[in-house]
Amino acid sequence: MTSVITIKGGHHVSGDIHVSGSKNAGLALMAASLLASGQSTLEGIPPLSDIGNMGRICQSLGANITRTSDSLQIDTTNLGGRDVPDRLTRSLRASILTLGPLIARFGFAKLCLPGGCLIGTRPIEEHLKGLEKMGARLSVTEGSVEAYAPLGLHGATIQMQTPSVTGTMNLMMAACLASGVTYIYNPAREPEVTDLANCLISMGAVIQGVGADPITIVGCDKPLLPYQYKVMEDRIEAGTFLILGAMAGNPLAVHNCTSKYQTALIEKLRAIGARVDIKENSIIVHKAICPIAVDIQTGPYPAYPTDLQPQFMALLSIAEGKSRITETVFEERFNQSAGLIAMGANICVDGEDAVISGVRGLSGRMVAATDLRAGASLVIAAIAAKGVTVISGTQHIDRGYYGLQSKLEKIGVSVKRSHSFDERPGKIEPRIAVSALCLKA
């Protein structure tokens, strides 16, 4: 028995919607607690399934975790484990973030290669090459990695070939307990990296150059101090709601939303014809009355974020003219196109490019969310579409959007969640896995 979301679309949304704390930053901050001995408190973190999975990983290592309404207490006083159970790492790609803290603090770590959304290959070479530079000996098999540094890690100069977000986070955390100074060149500059660095600094780490190139970390020879820290807003959740506002806002006010994190998105929303008003800690979006086609290309921050590409495709599907999306970050990140095509979109996918020829409107259908952001794309498409849309694969959506149903109901969306007993192939359509797709309804 699985869960489905049913949305009756074709209506405007209006009012206020509030953004939760960042899942991606929160996962890194939970891993950072492993660098300390004592109780850390992480505030503003939503009880998402990915957060729960990271909590179980920390517990398997000996941490004690308790949750209050919107915070986590992570007590690492009795931390002793170094071997993360396979069943836990396979459920969460961010489990790789425990590798750096564990080897830095204990000199050994073993974990299964991580799971999560199946989007391209998402390699971890940047993590492993950097740790080797810092003195770790690695044994990598087809399904797991073991890291050894019995004498501890040492500072190093690390040149990242690609600015991996989790790679930068992992190496930055490991460097905090390495002897000497570590320089990370070509690091990721995403706000979540900055949020992690600010937390590490509050724990006693010495870090300079975050958001620039290189990042410099001066290591120390003892565990860091526990933290009390409030996680940043979830800028991807915020961006999802901003795109929804451009599709159906009358208007929609998105709160706990910092405009500087949304610069690339706001530029495209205005180009497509939406009105965007920026306030101190909120952004108000009015629907684009006659949306016009624009092109986007994803890239590392501050470029347009890959995690908002699927949602923007939903908006482009009803824009007048022909748009092109070029996806440069992840392979195979157009999974949402199959569901959008079923709803009436005209989309041609070939490799890293998708060409969208706008249609007059979308129609409700039965569709399947194949990953987190593809699921979000289908949700906002369903809200703008005429008729009823039934979305399966809701477990993917639950990984990144806390309280989504109640938030949508408050802005006027007719949405309900129910159980489905029949999700056999062919009952939910379409499920397309090909390298080149060029179809229209």
DSSP class of residue 365 equals -
Percent over 70 (pLDDT), the chain: 93
Number of residues assigned to the chain: 441
Residues in CB range of 209: below 8 A, 6 or more apart: 215, 216
Give pLDDT, residue 2: 76
Chain centre distance of CA 117: 10
Report the candidate in 237, 238, 231 with the shortest Cα–Cα distance to residue 281. Answer: 238
pLDDT digits (tens, 9 = 90+) for 12-40: 999 999 999 999 999 999 999 999 999 99
Phi, psi of 301 (to 5 degrees): -55, 135
Which residues share a beta bridge with 15? 252
pLDDT digits (tens, 9 = 90+) for 357-412: 999 999 999 999 999 999 999 999 999 999 999 999 999 999 999 999 999 999 99
Q: How many CB atoms are closer than 10 A to CB 15? A: 12
Angle value at C-alpha 142, between 155 and 157, nearest 5 degrees: 15
Contact assessment for residue 203 and residue 32, using Cβ atoms and an 8 Å cutoff = yes
Give pLDDT, residue 85: 81
How high is the mean pLDDT of the chain? 92
pLDDT digits (tens, 9 = 90+) for 187-202: 999 999 999 999 999 9
pLDDT band at 70 (very low <50, low <70, confident <90, very high): confident
pLDDT band at 90 (very low <50, low <70, confident <90, very high): confident
What is the mean pLDDT of the segment spanning 112-140?
Answer: 78
Report the alpha-carbon distance of residue 346 to residue 25 in Å, rounded: 35
Q: Which domains does the chain have, with CATH numbers?
A: 2-20+233-440 (3.65.10.10), 23-230 (3.65.10.10)
pLDDT band at 124 (very low <50, low <70, confident <90, very high): confident
Give pLDDT, residue 437: 52
In 144-227, beta strands by DSSP E: 144-148, 157-159, 181-185, 206-208, 215-218
pLDDT digits (tens, 9 = 90+) for 312-350: 999 999 999 999 999 999 888 999 999 999 999 999 999
The structure's pTM equals 0.92
Q: Which residues have a catalytic role annotated?
A: 117
pLDDT digits (tens, 9 = 90+) for 227-284: 999 999 999 999 999 999 999 999 999 999 999 999 999 999 999 999 999 999 999 9
| pLDDT over 60 at 122, yes or no | no
What is the mean pLDDT of the segment spanning 121-133?
Answer: 86
Give pLDDT, residue 211: 93
Report the alpha-carbon distance of residue 11 to residue 124 in Å, rounded: 43
pLDDT digits (tens, 9 = 90+) for 410-441: 999 999 999 865 544 333 333 333 334 554 44
In 48-189, beta strands by DSSP E: 64-67, 71-75, 108-112, 137-140, 144-148, 157-159, 181-185
Give pLDDT, residue 436: 41
